[in-house]
């Protein structure tokens, strides 16, 4: 059958695949190299800032090692035991800042063994949600946390023999194939964790927090990001979040929290530009304050977020968390304010037996709904991407 003129023309044009286009974009020359498009949801503010500040012709700057494990922890935050969340994040905290050298052993822990452990838990389904499943994931993450600390110490002391021992143990313990949550008791010599069948002892979050002994905590994003608030029996159990931001910036500050009953609640407040104040004589610029209050005794976990309209320039803001007269945390962060990254989760908190465990998250999302889904807050009906039905 004779072909139509359109088919003849179409057959004469060689097929160009997306792979070929990618090669051409990179290979033609430095001036034609194009930055790959990325979804910034779940990126930390420093990672996204580095990406935006990089020359337009460069490739994506490296993200901090362990970012995939952090994403998995957020995805499972509602189902993981609290101690498992804190242990996994503490392991990820061992990563150096973005762009810094990463040792092979620590790289294996952050980019392979930790994510594999979390994926195995996720893929185990209902078995993971049993008491035995919770015990096993906590036990495995305790073991991985201990090895991470040993590796970091050996690297700091340039102890090659200790590093070889840790590498051999990691290969023996974690390289075995598994179709789900590993039911084999973790055994390590000379340190032996709990044997199978032994209840997991109460968690010790203070050992996971880098500023547990002070009353005023300054929590960075990558350095000293965590603290524990000791319960104050003389207070009403209210956590106050106050956001300090530049004058003229309209921001909605909010919190999403899950009660011990499983219900998810929201609180919000919006900055009012006309309420800007000069805090003290001698300062030329006024600042805005916006605050929310959380009933701590009812809360199992929470995130505090800020949302602003997209704008060309980021804004430096500081969240102050106070509980009673003796607990204060200062969490500086950057509000990126770009399409796809207009909501910043500034802080997260978990109720533990020793107090409130607080972390500087500084993680960006495109909307409040994306942030809630990213941190595994379920059962929410949404009217829009930034409006839950409450």
User: What pLDDT is attached to residue 327?
Assistant: 86
pLDDT band at residue 30 under the 50/70/90 scheme? very low
| Each residue's pLDDT tens digit, 228-268 | 988 777 777 899 999 998 888 889 999 999 999 999 999 99
pLDDT band at residue 177 under the 50/70/90 scheme? low
DSSP letters, 210-276, are TT-S-SEEE--SSSS-EEEEPP-TTS--EEEEEEEEETT--EEEEEEEEETTS-EEEEEEE--GGG-
User: Cα separation of 345 and 365, whole Å?
Assistant: 8
Between 278 and 230, the higher pLDDT residue? 230
pLDDT, mean of residues 18-41: 53
pLDDT, mean of residues 24-48: 67
| Each residue's pLDDT tens digit, 127-172 | 788 888 899 999 999 999 999 998 888 888 887 888 788 778 787 7
User: Cα separation of 17 and 190, whole Å?
Assistant: 56
| Each residue's pLDDT tens digit, 5-17 | 444 444 443 433 3
User: Cα separation of 365 and 32, whole Å?
Assistant: 30
Average pLDDT score, the chain: 80
Is pLDDT above 90 for 325? Answer: no
Beta bridge partners of 335: 315
| Each residue's pLDDT tens digit, 346-357 | 999 999 988 899
Q: What share of the chain is helix, strand, coil (3-state, %, to 5)?
A: 35, 25, 40
**Domains within the chain, CATH numbers bracketed:** 67-203 (no CATH), 207-388 (2.60.60)
pTM: 0.82
């Amino acid at each position: 059958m004779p072909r139509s003129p359109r088919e003849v023309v179409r057959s004469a044009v060689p097929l160009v695949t997306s792979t070929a286009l990618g090669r051409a974009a990179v290979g033609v020359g430095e001036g034609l190299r194009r930055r790959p498009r990325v979804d910034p949801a779940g990126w930390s503010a420093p990672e996204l800032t580095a990406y935006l500040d990089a020359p337009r012709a460069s490739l994506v700057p490296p993200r901090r090692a362990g970012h995939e494990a952090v994403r998995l922890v957020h995805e499972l935050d509602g189902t993981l035991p609290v101690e498992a969340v804190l242990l996994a994040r503490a392991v990820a905290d061992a990563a150096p800042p973005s762009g810094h050298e990463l040792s092979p052993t620590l790289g294996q822990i952050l980019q392979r063994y930790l994510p594999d452990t979390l994926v195995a838990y996720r893929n185990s389904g209902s078995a993971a949600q049993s008491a035995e499943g919770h015990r096993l994931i906590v036990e495995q993450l305790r073991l991985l946390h201990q090895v991470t600390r040993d590796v970091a110490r050996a690297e700091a002391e340039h102890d090659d023999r200790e590093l070889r021992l840790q590498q051999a143990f990691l290969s023996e313990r974690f390289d075995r194939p598994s179709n789900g949550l590993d039911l084999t008791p973790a055994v390590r010599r000379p340190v032996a964790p709990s044997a199978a069948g032994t209840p997991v002892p109460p968690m010790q979050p203070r050992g996971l927090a880098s500023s547990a002994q002070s009353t005023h905590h300054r929590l960075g994003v990558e350095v000293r990001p965590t603290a524990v608030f000791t319960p104050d029996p003389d207070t009403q159990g209210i956590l106050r979040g106050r956001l300090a931001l530049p004058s003229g910036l309209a921001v909605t500050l909010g919190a999403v929290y899950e009660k011990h009953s499983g219900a998810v609640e929201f609180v919000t407040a919006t900055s009012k530009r006309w309420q800007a104040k000069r805090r003290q004589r001698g300062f030329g610029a006024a600042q805005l304050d916006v605050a929310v209050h959380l009933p701590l005794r009812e809360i199992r976990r929470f995130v505090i977020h800020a949302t602003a309209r997209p704008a060309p320039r980021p804004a430096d803001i500081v969240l102050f968390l106070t509980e009673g007269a003796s607990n204060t945390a200062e969490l500086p962060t950057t509000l990126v304010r770009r399409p796809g990254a207009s909501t910043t989760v500034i802080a997260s908190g978990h109720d533990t037996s020793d107090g409130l465990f607080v972390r500087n998250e500084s993680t960006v999302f495109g909307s409040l709904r994306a942030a809630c889904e990213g941190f595994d807050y379920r059962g929410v009906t949404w009217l829009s991407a930034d409006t839950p039905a409450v």
